[in-house]
Amino acid sequence: MTKTKMDSPPFESGTSLWQDAFHRLKRNRMAMISAIYLLLQSLVAIFAPYLANFSYETTDLLLGAVPPNGIHYFGTDDLGRDMFTRVLYGARVSLMVGILATLVSVCIGVTYGAISGYVGGRLDEVLMRGVEILYAMPFTFFVIILMVLLGRNIYLLFIGLGAVQWLTMARIVRGQVVSIKNMEYIAAARAMGVKNHMILWRHVLPNILSPVIIYTTLTIPGVILEEAFLSFLGLGVQEPMSSWGTLIADGVTALETYPWIIIFPCITLMGALVALNFLGDGLREALDPKGTP
Amino acid sequence: MTIPLLEVQDIRTYFYHQSGVSKAVDGISFSLQKGKTLGIVGESGSGKSVSMLSLLGLLPSSSARILSGQAWFQGVDLLQLPKEKLRQIRGKKIGMIFQDPMTSLNPYLQISTQLMEAITEHHLGMSRTEAHAKALWALEQVGIPEAAARIHEYPHQFSGGMRQRVMIAMALMTDPDLLIADEPTTALDVTIQAQILAILRRLQEKNGLSIILITHDLGVVAGMSDDVLVMYAGRPIEQGTVEEIFYQPHHPYTTGLLRSIPSAIGEKKSLYAIPGLPPDPAKLPPGCPFAPRCEHAMPICTQKAPPRRELSPSHFSLCHLEVNHGKG
């Protein structure tokens, strides 16, 4: 009958599980540093036109490649383009690809997995066998073919990369939905006459959100890397636009003579990837405290 | 007699597996008047819950089939209704509460959302404010203190007994005519059990609610029910008013159940237990399903299905034994 508020953990009245998770996340220093780093990185990317002193497409052949100095913070490449500017603009493309392609993959993966898991039965069999078949296909080639056939369009890149990444998400979501749908509160909701799509939306999805969020933060670096890889092959973003991947590809050719061309894009790429992974880990610990030892 | 609120006739629900057919519910019939309580008693797996899920159309569609039966509720046969029509009755006219209050509430939603869900789903033409007021009313009905503050809390902030109260409150939101309580007190402490049962009884007197109480606890049945249906292996083996079942039980299984209630008074003796286990519903023996465990078993019991013996207009038993043999 009585509320035992004293010996319960610091739950305010009406603390949702999300608020608890946020408290735990705030206590994780590495995750918070990573989050702040990523926020700054995103702001820098968004406001790149205001922060850069030079245009990313202006070449200065007379200048050529100069090492980092007071005017060109990151030096210039062999065409005399300011590397600081190019890295700033590269962040825009890389982060945008990372986020948008991941969003595409989350949308497809969650919808597919949720329907498969919730409907179950034969449809589930068919959908999941489909995922397995797609798993067996060499997807990098698929994206390469897509790029070659349909032209090097940056939006196509989002869709192409997203369409490759959703398979694991679909599997994760499907597994979660199957376990959630046998919970008693789903039976209770059905006994209350709640419509199927509302059960899925209101009762099932919130309960599978934490694995989805965790996997999403871990997908973004994967997608950024994939884009870097495609750009490295010359299939990603085209000159004079740059992404971290194209910058690294440029730098490789001049690795011995002008090392600063490759070093700075590498450092920023690594910084973003490391921060995303730390944040993903922190989120996993915050949202699923039981799963961590 | 007035028209019963719910009139169930001969429901048969079988489960089809690769290994065979399980006759989970094999021909149960009962009728329930407005404001009355029917207790359905039986061991685990005797088909109590499945028969209720059959009524509500909540069986797993892949393996379960309802082979026959009628369930007349307010002029419609629940078993013949299209899915969508049945959904509209579920939760609106018929509320259901489940056995385990610890898992029957969604951990991610506030109590208020879950309480108001039935109202929003059934489009009862209430505004959010009205629905909220109704939710507060429902919480007060089930005796939750400080309802106005607690309504915005999450399930993990409630104890087991409190959650079961919330479950009952959820079922009350739409003013149902019938409440199906599937072992509502099994997962609770004895003291909390008594409180929950008291709440149910009070609601019944106040709102004229009819209750189907599924339980394996004869003590709960004695305190709550007007009529009792004893199920064994999917069949109704004895049915009667609560007095008839408790004072003049006929079927040896009912007698056995009554004898296995522990008594707190009198001299201590070892507790009676019915020997053996309930049969596998996929491999029912011919004849009476209880025969292998029955202390009065006769040769005919294993060969021929027992006849229906009318002991009074409201009391019958499925047994080969002559009447006035089984004394509790």
Least confident of A278-282, B283-287, B297-301: B283-287
Distance from CA of B244 to the nearest CA of A (A): 33
Q: How far apart are CA B223 and CA B194, in angstroms?
A: 10
**Residue A128: per-residue pLDDT:** 93
8 Å CB contact between A162 and A102: yes
Q: How far apart are CA B142 and CA B97, in angstroms?
A: 13
- Is beta strand B210-215 parallel, antiparallel or unpaired with respect to B94-97? unpaired
Q: How far apart are CA B44 and CA B215, in angstroms?
A: 9
Inter-chain touch A203–B106, beta carbons under 8 Å: yes
Tell me, rounded to whole angstroms, the distance of Cα A225 from its chain centroid: 10
Residue B25 bridge partners (DSSP): B13
Inter-chain touch A183–B103, beta carbons under 8 Å: yes
Q: How far apart are CA A82 and CA A94, in angstroms?
A: 18
Inter-chain touch B98–A198, beta carbons under 8 Å: no
- Chain A residues closer than 8 Å to B169 by CB: none
Q: How far apart are CA A230 and CA A144, in angstroms?
A: 8
- Chain B residues closer than 8 Å to A187 by CB: 58, 98, 104
Q: Which of A107-111, B17-21, B265-269 reaches the highest mean pLDDT?
A: A107-111
In tens, the pLDDT along A203-243 reads 898 888 888 988 898 888 888 888 888 887 777 777 777 88
The yes-or-no verdict on residue A109 having pLDDT over 90 is yes
**Residue A241: per-residue pLDDT:** 77
Distance from CA of B304 to the nearest CA of A (A): 39
**Residue B324: per-residue pLDDT:** 58
- Chain B residues closer than 8 Å to A15 by CB: 154, 157
Nearest to B96 among A13, A191, A206 (CB): A191
State the burial class of residue A74 (Cβ atoms within 10 Å of its Cβ: 0-12, 13-18, 19+). buried
Nearest to A193 among B87, B103, B149 (CB): B87
Find the helix or strand (DSSP H, E) in which B213 lies.
strand B210-215
pLDDT level of residue A59 (50, 70, 90 thresholds) = confident
**Residue B325: per-residue pLDDT:** 47
8 Å CB contact between A215 and A277: no
* Ranges of each domain in chain A: 39-291
Nearest to B121 among A14, A198, A206 (CB): A198
Residue B328 structure tokens: 């509790």
The yes-or-no verdict on residue A8 having pLDDT over 70 is no
Residue B118 bridge partners (DSSP): none
Please name the residue of chain B whose CA is at the shortest distance from the CA of residue A184: B104
Residue B298 structure tokens: 């006769």
- Chain A residues closer than 8 Å to B118 by CB: 192-194
Q: How far apart are CA B75 and CA A16, in angstroms?
A: 44
Please name the residue of chain A whose CA is at the shortest distance from the CA of residue B111: A14
Domain containing residue B145: CATH number: 3.40.50.300
In tens, the pLDDT along B96-125 reads 988 888 888 988 888 999 999 988 888 778
Of the candidates B198, B171, B196, B199, the one whose C-alpha atom is nearest the C-alpha of residue B183 is: B196
**Residue A117: per-residue pLDDT:** 93
Inter-chain touch B170–A183, beta carbons under 8 Å: no
8 Å CB contact between B115 and B169: yes
**Residue B94: per-residue pLDDT:** 93
Residue B192 bridge partners (DSSP): none
Residues in chain B: 328
A39-291 architecture in CATH?
Orthogonal Bundle (1.10)
Higher-pLDDT residue of A3 and B12 is B12
Region B203-209: mean pLDDT is 89
Please name the residue of chain A whose CA is at the shortest distance from the CA of residue B121: A194
Inter-chain touch B154–A14, beta carbons under 8 Å: yes
- Chain B residues closer than 8 Å to A183 by CB: 103
State the burial class of residue B262 (Cβ atoms within 10 Å of its Cβ: 0-12, 13-18, 19+). exposed
The yes-or-no verdict on residue A9 having pLDDT over 50 is no
Q: SS3 of B24, please?
A: strand
The packing angle between helices A17-27 and A260-287, to 10°, is 130
The yes-or-no verdict on residue B28 having pLDDT over 50 is yes
Q: For the CA atoms of chain A, what is the radius of gyration? A: 23
Q: Structural domain of residue B182, as residue ranges?
A: 6-41+54-223
Region B143-154: mean pLDDT is 89
Q: How far apart are CA A276 and CA B62, in angstroms?
A: 43
Q: How far apart are CA A91 and CA A73, in angstroms?
A: 16
- Chain A residues closer than 8 Å to B56 by CB: 191
How many structural domains are present in chain B?
1
DSSP state of B216: S
Tally Cβ neighbours within 10 Å of residue A267: 13
pLDDT level of residue B328 (50, 70, 90 thresholds) = very low
Residue B6 bridge partners (DSSP): B32, B73
Q: SS3 of B16, please?
A: strand
Asked if residue B11 belongs to a domain, the reply is yes
Nearest to A193 among B88, B108, B157 (CB): B88
Tally Cβ neighbours within 10 Å of residue B324: 9
Q: Going edge to edge, which strands form the sheet with B235-241?
A: B94-97, B178-182, B210-215, B37-41, B227-232, B235-241, B315-318, B308-312
ipTM confidence score: 0.81
Asked if residue B101 belongs to a domain, the reply is yes
The residue to which tokens 């707190």 are assigned: B264
Asked if residue B270 belongs to a domain, the reply is no
Find the helix or strand (DSSP H, E) in which B285 lies.
none
**Residue A290: per-residue pLDDT:** 61
| Optimal mutation site among B56, B106, B175, B212, interface A, most CBs of chain A within 10 A | B106
Inter-chain touch B98–A187, beta carbons under 8 Å: yes
pLDDT level of residue A14 (50, 70, 90 thresholds) = low
Residue A181 structure tokens: 């749908």
The residue to which tokens 């953990």 are assigned: A9
Residue B14 bridge partners (DSSP): B23, B65
Q: How far apart are CA A30 and CA B4, in angstroms?
A: 67
Tell me, rounded to whole angstroms, the distance of Cα A76 from its chain centroid: 30
pTM (2 d.p.):
0.78
Q: For residues A9, A11, A17 and A21, what is the CA-based torsion angle, rounded to 10 degrees?
A: -70
CA distances from A183 to B101, B103, B235 (A): 11, 7, 28
Chain A residues with a Cβ under 8 Å from any Cβ in chain B: 1, 8, 11, 13-18, 120-121, 183-185, 187-195, 198, 202-203, 206-207
Region A288-292: mean pLDDT is 60
Distance from CA of A288 to the nearest CA of B (A): 14
Q: How far apart are CA B95 and CA A191, in angstroms?
A: 7
Q: How far apart are CA A177 and CA A120, in angstroms?
A: 10
Inter-chain touch B103–A185, beta carbons under 8 Å: yes
Distance from CA of B268 to the nearest CA of A (A): 34
The yes-or-no verdict on residue A129 having pLDDT over 90 is yes
The yes-or-no verdict on residue B311 having pLDDT over 80 is yes
Please name the residue of chain A whose CA is at the shortest distance from the CA of residue B171: A192
Q: For the CA atoms of chain B, what is the radius of gyration? A: 21
Residues in chain A: 293
8 Å CB contact between A8 and B102: no
Q: How far apart are CA A197 and CA A204, in angstroms?
A: 10
Tell me, rounded to whole angstroms, the distance of Cα A197 from its chain centroid: 28
Inter-chain touch B149–A192, beta carbons under 8 Å: no
Inter-chain touch B98–A11, beta carbons under 8 Å: no
The yes-or-no verdict on residue B32 having pLDDT over 90 is yes
In tens, the pLDDT along A168-213 reads 999 999 999 999 988 888 988 988 888 888 899 888 988 888 889 8
Asked if residue B136 belongs to a domain, the reply is yes
Tally Cβ neighbours within 10 Å of residue A265: 28
Q: Which of A147-156, A157-166, A175-184 reaches the highest mean pLDDT?
A: A175-184
Inter-chain touch B58–A189, beta carbons under 8 Å: no
